[in-house]
Amino acid sequence: MSHKTLDIARDTTLYTAAAVLILMGGAGLLTYWLGIVYPLRSVLLPDNALAVLMVGVGLLAMMVRWPILRRFAGFILLVHVTYLLMHNALAGGREVGVSWLTGDVRMGSLASAMLSLVAVCLLLGVGWRRSRWLWAGVGILLLSSSLLALLRLFLPGGEVAWTLNNASSPLLGTALALVLGVSMLLMAVGVDRPQPRMGRLALACGLFGVLLSCSVWYLLNWEYQEDKRLQASHLLDNVQYNAEQAMAAQLLLAQYVAERLDSPEPLSDAAMRAHHIEHYFRDSPGMQALVMQDRGVSVWEFAGTEQAGQWLKAQLADPRAEAEQPFDFASPWMMPADSERRHMALVLIPLPSVGQQLVGSIDLVVLLKEELRVQLGAYMVRVLQNGAPLLEMRAPGRAASKMSYPLVAHRHIGLPGGLGLTLEVYPDSVEEMLKAGLIPGGVALAGLMLSYLMSFSLGLAYQRHQDRRSLWESEQRYRSLFAYNPDAVFSVDPEGNFVTANSTCATITGLPVDRIIGSHFSQLILPGEIERIQHYFNEALKGNAQRFEVAIANLTGEPRLLYVTNLPILVEGTVQGVFGIAKDITEQHSNETRLRVLERSVQASINGIVITDASQDDFPITYVNEAVLALTGYREEELLGRSCRILQG
């Protein structure tokens, strides 16, 4: 893979990483500001989202070389994580209290410490060698921690650690740490090399893909969790309906007993009354004891156990219980018992014909366990009264767990008889909680990977287009140099045959270009020059540039003198031919010959000849012949450059 391709892959990774960090952090803050609630767990806590946003802005500023924005992002990030570290230390952990900035759960101290190192890197940049080493070290630290977190998932107990020990999505946190670690390593290497341009289309498509993937991550998380909330809501409907039906049946049965006792033919016989009450206790599993009262005085009592009877007597003797009883009621009434036994309730059944009332104690836990028949699936239902837990209901085969699951849904219900309860629904499966984060995250990560590949492919295509354009421009320059060169330009294959020739070749030789191409160069050279020129040609084939003069005869037989430069044509280190440039120096050679003849004539003249430079004030001497030296006795170096007045005596 070429360096240019590697650089495109590096830039694509860095731009994609910056976009992911900015969009994920921005989306996290947006959901916080809009008040969007995730039933199970937030995708990204607002404190974490702010830190991720600043990291992304700093990374983007590094790529576009905006040092002020980079330092600003690094400063904000450093202040933010420093506050989080101090708050966690003073509070004794991130679980204690909430963030003063966002009012939500704070970021953990370990993540804050790592991000403080990232903030220092952003403030320093990568201009110095030591700072690049720091970038690489922090990148390795982030990369190692993210890989260890992924490995933790597959170890025993890893599902629990991933599911219940994180206030936001552990998959997203691990993925962001992995992306940031890779980005910091890439930023530290290749920073000195000129980076290729990726093109606007590649950047725009990559940004759109990242935006789509980040949106999918948040939307799928919300949809998945909202589906779980709806399931929990339907479960609450069923539990509420069953509880109301069970309580209504108990009150109806109590009403029936009261009507029997209040009938014109009362059950005065104690044996018959006891038999009737025993049937009632058998049909009412939660009933513990009954007392017939006449103006606060017990007429008769019946209890399933001695302890239950004593507790009911104690409740009736308590002034607080008497004060809470309704003054006038025509139907059975329920009221909670003391705070020590919240699972117990009192049932008041009026007997209007005799002015008496039947008071019973009922165990709500026993009643609800016996009467509620609900398909719980992977959920656990907790029943509370006045905030105190009464009962936890799980699907058959599921054991109680000490792990703390997030609340999915809750509801306050009023049961027949006036008793109020609170129902709460929690997940009861680590696997379901894990799926709630992994499935949406897996889809979004696949989208991010496709976005990266698309952006990388478009960047490669843009670079290939730029390379082809540069090649085309170079070819046009070569063609212009070849076609419009006043000298003869040609190329010869290793066998010595002309492959190309410009129009100047035709002008010099008098032959048309199509006749020159394909012919051997020896056909244009005088017979006596062939061996010498072949030697130069062979040297050029060995990779050595050659310069020489050669005489040829054109089509009309007129001799022409050429000054030729031969250059080897190298393709991938192999000589594929010879490139030649021939300058017609026939006239130049003739003029030089004429000048040499004239110079010798002047030099041999018996008359003294002096030439001066008239463009200068003192007319310095530029030439003297031998006759002047003989007449004056000066040497040539004594006269040249001096004023001609020296010869005036």
Q: What is the DSSP string of 362-398?
A: EEHHHHHHHH-----TTEEEEEEETTEEEEEE--TTP
Q: Which is it for the CA torsion 471, 475, 478, 480, positive or negative?
A: negative
How far CA 189 is from CA of 60, 234, 535, 543, in Å, comes to: 16, 56, 51, 38
Residue type, 37: V
Residue 267 binned pLDDT confidence (cut-offs 50, 70, 90): very low
Q: Can you give the pLDDT at residue 2?
A: 59
Q: What's the rounded Cα separation, in Å, for the pair 628 and 634?
A: 8
Per-position b or e across 548-586, b if 16+ CB within 10 A of its CB = bebebeeeeeeebbbbbebbbbeeeeeeebbbbbbbbee
pLDDT tops 80 at residue 278: no
* C-beta separation of 102 from 28 below 8 A: no
For position 118, what pLDDT does the model report?
92
**pLDDT for the residue numbered 56:** 92
pLDDT digits (tens, 9 = 90+) for 57-104: 999 998 888 899 999 999 999 999 999 899 888 888 777 778 888 877
Helices (H) and strands (E) in the chain, counts: 19, 16
Across 330-359, average pLDDT: 74
- What is the radius of gyration, based on Cα positions, of the chain? 51
Domains located in the chain, CATH noted? 3-196 (no CATH), 227-428 (no CATH), 480-589 (3.30.450.20), 605-648 (3.30.450.20)
pLDDT, tens only, 514-531: 898 999 988 888 888 888
Highest mean pLDDT among 28-32, 271-275, 478-482, 491-495: 491-495
Query: Does the structure show a pLDDT above 70 at 147?
Result: yes
| Closest alpha carbon to 538 in 506, 503, 566 | 566
pTM: 0.66
- On whether the CB atoms of residues 354 and 262 are closer than 8 A, the answer is yes
**Cα 438 from Cα 209, distance rounded (Å):** 20
Structure tokens at 513: 């270009």
Q: In the predicted model, is pLDDT for residue 544 greater than 80?
A: yes
Classify residue 100 by its DSSP letter.
T
